[in-house]
Amino acid sequence: MGIINLTPDSFYDGGKTTTSREILLQAERMLKEGASFLDLGGYSSRPGASDVSQEEELNRVLPALEAILQEFPEAIISIDTFRSEVARQAISIGAALINDISGGMLDPEMINTAGQLKVPYIAMHMRGTPQTMTQNTNYDVLTRDVLTYFSGRIKEANAAGINDLIIDPGFGFSKTRAQSFALLNELELFKELELPILIGISRKSMIYKTLDTTPENALNGTTALHSIALLKGANILRVHDVKEAMECISLISELKRA
């Protein structure tokens, strides 16, 4: 899953895709490099990011979505939003799935909307909001608590008629760096839910702070942790760097076949 951030303040590539030309060039590169999906987001979810109105989010996302689908009609587009109305409008234009950082917790209409639209739905684990999540890192037993959260999301999704549910443990969301590593170390436990697992760790602070570097210099560390995630059962990698992620997938797939 290739990331296309349509925001001025995302932690790594904020402000890099603000014109139609830049968006299309990034989409073309990612698709050529092997991306199965493109994930469009108009609301930065980095810790402490400013809130963005629904109108502004729509103004960022919908024109980009239309432009990509006009240029690349076979592209499978995910809409990265926690707002049901943004999801509804994006799906009506041609987006194919919903990627919700809140798992339906920030918009009470989201789960039912996804069920009505009959599209795949990605539910991530997060406590609070992007503005408050760093204050919500207390757990009894981290992995157990996250698994319990997903049990509730699964039950609600099934009741709403969502047929294709994907889970994202939410690395860096309401989790300290140490907690993110602990979660990755126990990732195989999430296979018990018998659902596809999406991993979003690309260039995140759990990597660049551990290596005492910057997001711009965190590609090698990202690849290392992607390898571990794939070995532990990850099914989808959400990435900034598609070519390198595809190489990682190819090598791990060959290893598993050996």
The residue whose two tokens read 């499978």 is 76
Cα Dmax for the chain: 51
- 129 phi and psi, to 5 degrees? -130, 170
* Among 124, 71, 68, residue whose Cα is nearest residue 96: 68
Catalytic (active site) residue 46: no
Cβ–Cβ < 8 Å for 15, 255: no
Q: Please list the helix, strand and coil fractions of the chain in percent, rounded to the nearest 5, in that order.
A: 50, 10, 40
Q: Which of 238, 243, 256, 257 is catalytic?
A: 238
**Tokens, residue 242:** 């598609």
Q: Which of 204, 243, 256, 257 is catalytic?
A: 204
The single-letter code of the amino acid at 88 is R
Task: Give the separation between CA 4 and CA 70, rounded to whole angstroms.
Answer: 16
Cβ–Cβ < 8 Å for 123, 165: yes
Catalytic (active site) residue 153: no
Distances (CA, A) of 8 to 124, 210, 232: 23, 26, 34
Looking at the annotation, which residues are catalytic? 204, 238
